[in-house]
Structure 1
């Protein structure tokens, strides 16, 4: 753990001035915590809604389910998991969508702008999401979709008999020491409290009991860093393979969309892959440095770029610390 006061003072000054909604920062290098601090009244045990970071958690769960044989492969067709879906509504493009398209955000959709509120207010989120598949785009065209991520959660449940939350608690969270999550039943009355509330804990479920796939998980900064470290370790935790190395490598393979299996990929000065959520929630993995930077944040519209905070402040301060 970094002890020198200037690091704390300099970073706290930047956070308080430019990144006012940050709740916690944890930095792990070579498997050791080198910086950990909390802001705005939050502490080590507090969890926050990490929004679309949920997608990267779900990606890991799909990988584990494939490793364990619950799901055959990423090439399985999505509609194979929904035999109850009205075939009259399944056009040719919808029929060709595979799990891999949902993981890489390359499934076709009928909308120009995702109807997120309509999805969340429907009585059957899975059916609503399936209805959105299709349209003019071809399979393989990048189109970001939270509805598609929710379909992955439902597929996981259909394949394993467990909700994504239950599956995560058993096969991901508990094995690497992350906090296990209770179910959080969302209502119109509790929605804003969950999104903006200071002390929230759990994983949101839809009206059918399925865990939300594209948002709805709460994590602490420390648990975010643990999850990032698992990926830096190629799925290995204390000698136990939690996720196969092959899945990690496949998930993070660079491409023209700069998006892996529900992970954002960056390649500028050095390669980085990130789980990113609204409000400024980020798990930034820097494999060349063997480092994870996890930032947990309160909800805020249009927060300042966390990658700039990492590149312009956190990494230079760590480098300066190393030189002393």
Structure 2
């Protein structure tokens, strides 16, 4: 029933596009897929001269057969991890503990060198770059009004909206025109004029009082980064994170349009290898420190992972990071269809999961599964 209802919701969204005359502004229409990066223009993020490698896995561990997790079928027993991942549309799955790669799974169509796309996991990267830009003196702080970077928004109700509000999705912006079941706008995902369109919106709630997850908030943060640093988001990521922590492969960030003026789809669409996404998880697991060098201020990491209900903030989501129960101390970056970089500090574990399009994906069940895995390590 859940899949049927979701598919029906998607059909309604597509019809809304047609009825609102939006098709002329988008490159395609349809459900986002894991290989859509091939359809978009992209800006390259180069890797550096030095590469960090996790310690190789020990094949004798055979965790794919020894770890068991709930199958979701009431009439069945537990599933072996290998079988579970195959049955749940997994493209790639890594388990890392103490810098050792304990387990890796790749779908038959993928290998460790294949590209996966982040979907909303990218939002956590934008959050990290905001923290770095503040430390660099490019941005005064999270209490800065966004009108400081968008004078064109003066006298449109944006003066009270701060960078903090954008990070916490409490900006008061309500993009009601074409919301859909994937937590954003298909027009935004497929759109070609993001920078222009995004400046035509208005807050409808008082900032800091109402949580509403929206891709617009993250896209505005990316535009602030660009205006504050004088660099594209991809260039800033390359300089501040990608090269310094020894990513093994180049990456790309999909753009909303072709040419040098193309704007990164900052709310999604960072395309890289699974192993390099794991290194970003390691950076946060180590509180922004990379082998003795502080890449992201430790205070920013602590602030990002602070669970609170203040100022409209959601208890389990802060600065574009998901926050697990205090009992476990877990936290994660999550994207559509259950793309996940999941950290379990108590055991120094990183789990990375990327998957195919799946209308029936269930994030709470994935978190439940990850806890089961960590319990068996």
- TM-score computed with the length of structure 2 as normaliser: 0.72
Which aligned pairs between 1:6-85 and structure 2 lie closer than 5 A? 6-9=62-65, 10-17=80-87, 19=88, 21-83=89-151, 85=152
- Going from structure 1 to structure 2, the CA distance change for 1:264 and 1:98 (only over 3 Å counts) comes to same
How big is the shift at 1:220?
2.1
**Deviation per CA, 1:131-161, whole angstroms, max 9, x where unpaired?**
3331134433211011110011111010111
Q: Which residue of 1 aligns with 2:267?
A: 214
Maintained 8 Å contact 1:129/1:148: no
Which aligned pairs between 1:170-185 and structure 2 lie closer than 5 A? 170-179=239-248, 181=250
Once residues 282 and 146 of structure 2 are traced to their aligned partners in structure 1, the CA distance between those partners, rounded to angstroms, is 30
Once residues 240 and 326 of structure 2 are traced to their aligned partners in structure 1, the CA distance between those partners, rounded to angstroms, is 34
- Going from structure 1 to structure 2, the CA distance change for 1:300 and 1:40 (only over 3 Å counts) comes to farther
- Going from structure 1 to structure 2, the CA distance change for 1:316 and 1:123 (only over 3 Å counts) comes to closer
Once residues 111 and 210 of structure 1 are traced to their aligned partners in structure 2, the CA distance between those partners, rounded to angstroms, is 20
Which structure 1 segments of 5+ residues have no match?
A: 183-201, 319-324
Whether 1:204 and 2:274 are equivalent positions in the alignment is: no
Maintained 8 Å contact 2:172/2:210: yes
Cα RMSD for the two superposed structures: 2.1
Which structure 2 segments of 5+ residues have no match?
A: 1-56, 66-79
Which of 275, 278, 282 is equivalent to 2:333?
275
Q: Which residue of 2 aligns with 1:87?
A: 154
**Deviation per CA, 1:33-77, whole angstroms, max 9, x where unpaired?**
222221232111111111000000111111111111111111111
Which of 283, 292, 297 is equivalent to 2:355?
297
SS of equivalent to 2:317:
coil
Number of aligned residues: 292
How big is the shift at 1:121?
5.8
- Going from structure 1 to structure 2, the CA distance change for 1:299 and 1:50 (only over 3 Å counts) comes to farther
Which aligned pairs between 1:197-276 and structure 2 lie closer than 5 A? 202-207=252-257, 208-256=261-309, 257=314, 258-267=316-325, 269-276=327-334
- TM-score computed with the length of structure 1 as normaliser: 0.83
